[in-house]
Amino acid sequence: MGPQRRSTSPSAAVAWAFTLALSWTPAAGAQSAPADPVARPAYQQYRYDEDWSVLKDAPQHGDVWDGIKYVPLKRDDWYLSAGGEARWRYEQVRQPGFGSQPDDPNGYALQRYLFHTDWHFGTRARAFIEIQSGLEDGRNGGPRPTDRNTLDLHQAFVDVKFHASDRDSVTLRLGRHEVAFGAGRLISAAEGLNVRRSFDGARLIVKRGAWTWNSTAMRLVQSAPGVFDDRSDSGLVSWGAGGNGPRPWLGPGNLAVYYIGVRRRNARFDQGAADATRHSAGIRVWGSAGRADYDEEAIVQWGTFGQDPIRAYAIASDIGWVVASAGGHPRVGTRVFVASGDRDPLAPKLNSFDPLFPSIAYSGKAGLVGPTNLVTVDPSLSFTPHPLLRVTTDWAMFWRTSTQDGIYGINVAVLRTGQQSTARFVGSQANVELEARLTMHVSVWASIVYFNTGRFLRETPPGLDTRYVAGHLSYRF
């Protein structure tokens, strides 16, 4: 007899309270939309990037939420903006961990609620506060660490500008905040997870013309399942610097260069466990030329694993071509990713790549395998059969970079040791993904994934095929 499904958690009351507030709040400030409403900013993945000051002189509101997007305060150049998100998600994973984890034929429900206030005190000071609630119900084996965080302070930071002009500015950010960098291969807020990621620390943001430079010193926030119990991870500290902007001397497109340092207590790889200090340096170029687009990145890593040296690397390439003459404007693309693995578990040198704080997109939205010691070749086709709907299908193939190292999860946990098989082929993954933005507030996403295990997983049993079905409804305001 399989594990019994758990009853609805009492913390679901938080969800109902948020949903009730979501339904009631706009009624207070709702007005009929004018014939020519003010142009509104788009909602951003990182909500602190939004600027709602355009609504300052709006004679009427063009959306029911505009009444809380710009609220004048005591002084003429002081204002408050509020917003949030509710996301309801269903997931079903058959034979998770390729058969090593409890099967879950009925699936489970995930909920995420975010609410923020953004306080602007003139052009020199700002405070941003965001709370997060992540809930889980019905998963066999209980919630994963990234599934549940009943209620907590997700972001709370202040920005102080020391210099500002039309093209240049210097801003110091202090406190708890999400950090975005590049394509998310090393640092991201992990949007695909139920509980988003944040950091405690400081960030210096320098904008000079079209270029933006950042330097950071921060600790990862450990997500705890209770109420207001998240704390900085004392065993992990990160620092870094980098910049990005256009590169006209090399043709159209953009360039980013960066350095990231991480000190991690008790880092674990197939070779063993030890305290590690790892340095990562990278360069990324991306852009488009006509109907072609590209995103190329190279990363090198060095440091110490205990008393032993670290030497690792990763190379990423994502190129595509839009067939403008065809209906739905299909994009044909290929993504290739190569990350190093340890060449010899008995040698002192560690060659396993560490993705640090990544998104889950290395192996698709299912996140069944992580990037360490992996070669990925992923041809894809995406098209727009309707202006509101985007369809993407791809077939990814995975090999071990080194037959002396195992395969890992997205959190760098060892999924299978590499010491029991010399096979290189891990498996292939077919995926169909639908994404629809029904209104400016409402979006729907769904994905069906089938992972066919290869020789390596079958020779390190269990090696069962894995099926993943997921979908969510999101409301932003």
For residue 184, what pLDDT is reported? 83
Question: Confidence band (pLDDT; 50, 70, 90) for 12?
Answer: very low
- 208/211 Cα distance (integer angstroms): 5
Two tokens, residue 235? 């065993």
Q: Give pLDDT tens digits for 43-92.
A: 999 999 999 998 988 766 778 899 999 999 988 889 999 999 999 999 99
- Left, alpha or beta for 464 (phi > 0: left; psi -120 to 50: alpha)? beta
CA distance 368 to 99: 12
263 forms bridges with which residues in the sheet? Answer: 237, 277
Q: What is the pLDDT of residues 260-300, one digit of tens each?
A: 999 999 999 999 999 999 999 999 999 998 899 999 999 99
* Rounded mean pLDDT, 405-421: 94
* Both tokens assigned to 393: 């299908």
What 3-state class would DSSP assign to 395?
strand
Write out the two tokens for 465.
């095929």
Instruction: Give alpha helix (H) positions in 65-108.
Output: 66-69
Arithmetic mean of pLDDT, 230-251: 90
CA dist 206 and 161 (Å) reads 10
Mean pLDDT over each residue of the chain, to the nearest integer:
90
Q: Which residues pair with 394 in a beta bridge?
A: 380, 431
The CA-to-CA distance between both ends of the chain, in Å, stands at 44
Residues of 341-376 as b/e, b for ≥16 C-beta within 10 angstroms?
A: bbbebeeeebbbbbbbbbbbbbbbbbbbbbbbbbbb
Query: Is the CB of residue 205 less than 8 Å from the CB of residue 171?
Result: yes
Identify the pLDDT of residue 36: 44
Question: How does residue 6 score in pLDDT terms, banded at 50, 70 and 90?
Answer: very low
> pTM for the complete prediction?
0.89
What pLDDT sits at residue 9? 47
Can you tell me the distance from the alpha carbon of 431 to that of 417, in angstroms, rounded to the nearest whole number?
26
Distance (Å, whole) CA 300 – CA 312: 6
Q: Note the helical H segments in 133-218.
A: none
> Dihedral of CA 288/294/300/306: which sign?
positive
**Alpha helix (H) ranges present in 8-152?**
12-29, 66-69
DSSP 197-227: --EEEEEEEEEETTEEEEEEEEEEEEP-SSB
- Residue 266 pLDDT: 94
Question: Cα–Cα distances in Å, from 137 out to 15, 238, 363, 425, 454?
Answer: 12, 33, 25, 35, 32
**Proportion of the chain above pLDDT 70, given as a percent:** 91
Residue 458: its H or E element: helix 455-459
Domains and their CATH numbers in the chain? 247-477 (2.40.160.100)
As a whole number of angstroms, the distance between CA 114 and CA 221 comes to 17
CA torsion sign for 225, 359, 179, 187 is: positive
User: Quick one: tokens of 296?
Assistant: 């190329």
Chain centroid to Cα 113, Å, comes to: 16
Under a CB-based contact definition with an 8 Å cutoff, are residues 137 and 16 in contact? Answer: no
Amino acid 59: pLDDT: 67
Q: Quote the pLDDT of residue 60.
A: 65
10 has pLDDT over 60: no
Q: Where does the pLDDT of residue 239 fall: very low under 50, low under 70, confident under 90, or very high at 90 and above?
A: very high
Alpha helical stretches, state H, 61-123: 66-69
What is the tens place of the pLDDT at every residue in 164-200?
787 899 999 999 999 988 788 899 999 989 999 999 9
